[in-house]
Amino acid sequence: MAGFFYNLGRLVGPKVRKAEWVLRSLTGSEAEAIVAEQAVGRDLARAFVEQLGHDPDPVVREHLDYLAAKLTAAQSDRRWGFRFLAVRAPEVNAFALPGGFVFVTRHLLEVCGWDHAELAFVLGHEMGHIVKRHAIERLMANTLFSGVVARLPVGGAVLRPHVAALLNTLLRQGYSREQELEADAFGARAARAAGFDPAGARRVLVRLAAESAAEPLLSGYFASHPPLDVRLRHLEPLTGH
């Protein structure tokens, strides 16, 4: 997916309102910050889907709609307006964009055996990256950089490749260990609140870790996550195991 992120930087580089996003996120009210993040997410999500294409399979859509409805209904904060979409990509992965956009690949659904409890944790984990502001923070450095060069011809032949490369690096960069564990806790609580078996969190982590050694497409999902034993230990109070 590295190629996609490079192209995404080129697609949105001269179009996005980077300086405005940062200003509103840093100085605006909480409601204004969420609106700004949703603007970020819409632009990036549009480019993301245009590049990869959504998965049109009605079975995939049915499962995802069910999980999305349960997870969002259980959230006390309704301001995010989460949107869930399956995309065509070879990886086994799920990922979040600022403002409430959660993406999942069909391969992840299949590896999880379409188990709703396991998938609820995975999707809840990505929701956590959004609610806890991890997704927007990962873009902040790029946004601030772009704000500095906003008065220069960013779309020109000289600077544009450098901006795209920076965006590529930041989007590929993993979250911190603390952010991943915070998202794990959010995902476990979200799944439980939505009525799913909390043990699904442990099951899916153990399953994916066991299969990652033999399945190259799983390597990307674990590339930036803390070790399995750390994640399981952190989840013990929330999953009962």
Complete edge-to-edge strand list for the sheet that includes strand 83-87: 83-87, 101-105, 94-97
The rounded distance, in Å, linking the Cα atoms of 53 and 61 is 14
Instruction: Give me the catalytic one of 37, 118, 126, 182.
Output: 126
DSSP secondary structure letters along 111-140: HTTT-HHHHHHHHHHHHHHHHTTHHHHHHH
Angle CA 231–232–235, to nearest 5:
90
Contact 186, 79 (CB under 8 A): no
N-terminal to C-terminal alpha carbon distance within the chain = 34
**Residues whose CB is less than 8 angstroms from the CB of residue 182 and which lie 6 or more positions away in sequence, other chains included:** 128, 132, 134
Q: Is 126 a catalytic residue?
A: yes
- Per-residue DSSP letter, 156: S
Instruction: List active site positions.
Output: 126
